[in-house]
C-alpha cells in the first residue's frame, strides 16, 4: 500500500489518477499515527519549501519522517518533496530534513523564469531514460555519486534524482509525464528504485 502524505498542497489528485491507472493501491495520510505504520510514502510536489517544512513541523511529522527514512522506509519525494531531503533551500529560511549535505539553489542567469516543460532525464551511467515534465525554479547541484542518480541539462547540468537510504527524490513530475511517468511510478511502487 502506498501512503500519500497529504500536507494540503501538491498534485495529490494527479498522483492518485496515475496510481489508479497503473492499479496501485494507495491511501492518503496526514497524521503521526498513520506515518508510523506506513509501508511506503510519497510526498507529492508543488508548494514552497518553507510552507512544506512548516506544515510538517505543525503536524509534528518532521522528526518522525526523517527517522522513518533513516530506518529504511521507502520514500518518494516529488519536486519539493525531493528538496526537503536537503539541508535547506534558497527559496526560504527553514531547515530541511538534512539527509543530503547540500542546499537547494535557484537557477541563476536564466532570466528569472522557471524550468517548465519536458526534459530528457539521464541516468548516472549516461543512459537517457525518457522525457519527463518539470515545473520548478530551484534545483539541486549535488554531484556526489553517493546521492545523485539522475540528471538533466537545463539550462545547465543539474541533479534531478537523488537517493539516500531507501529515499528517492525526483525533481520532475511523473504524474504529469504520461506513460514514462506512469512506468517510473510503477517501478518505484514495485521495487523502490
Q: What is the CA radius of gyration of the chain?
A: 15
pLDDT class for 187, splitting at 50, 70, 90?
very high
Please write the tens of the pLDDT for every residue from 83-110: 999 999 988 899 999 999 999 888 776 5
Residues marked as catalytic: 79, 173, 175
Closest CA to 25 of 46, 4, 45, 11: 4
**pTM confidence score:** 0.93
Question: What pLDDT is recorded for position 100?
Answer: 94
Please write the tens of the pLDDT for every residue from 23-70: 999 999 999 999 999 999 999 987 899 999 999 999 999 999 999 999
Fold of 2-191: Rossmann fold (3.40.50)
Question: What pLDDT is recorded for position 115?
Answer: 79
pLDDT at 113 over 90: no
Residue 67 φ then ψ, to 5°: -65, -40
pLDDT at 155 over 90: no
Amino acid at each position: 500500500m502506498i501512503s500519500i502524505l497529504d500536507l494540503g498542497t501538491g498534485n495529490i489528485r494527479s498522483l492518485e489518477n496515475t496510481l489508479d491507472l497503473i492499479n496501485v493501491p494507495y491511501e492518503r495520510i496526514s497524521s503521526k499515527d498513520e506515518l508510523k505504520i506506513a509501508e511506503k510514502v510519497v510526498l507529492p510536489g508543488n508548494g514552497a519549501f518553507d510552507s512544506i517544512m512548516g506544515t510538517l513541523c505543525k503536524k509534528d511529522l518532521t522528526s518522525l519522517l526523517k527517522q522513518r527514512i533513516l530506518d529504511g522506509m521507502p520514500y518518494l519525494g516529488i519536486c519539493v518533496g525531493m528538496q526537503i531531503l536537503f539541508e535547506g533551500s534558497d527559496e526560504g529560511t527553514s531547515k530541511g530534513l538534512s539527509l543530503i549535505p547540500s542546499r537547494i539553489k535557484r537557477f541563476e542567469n536564466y532570466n528569472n523564469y522557471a524550468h517548465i516543460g519536458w526534459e530528457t532525464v539521464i541516468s548516472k551511467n549516461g543512459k537517457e531514460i525518457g522525457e519527463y515534465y518539470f515545473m520548478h525554479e530551484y534545483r539541486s547541484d549535488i554531484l556526489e555519486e553517493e546521492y545523485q542518480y539522475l540528471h538533466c541539462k537545463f539550462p545547465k547540468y543539474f541533479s534531478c534524482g537523488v537517493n539516500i537510504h531507501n529515499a528517492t527524490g525526483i525533481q520532475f513530475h511523473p504524474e504529469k509525464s504520461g506513460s514514462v511517468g506512469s512506468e517510473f511510478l510503477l517501478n518505484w511502487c514495485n521495487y523502490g528504485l
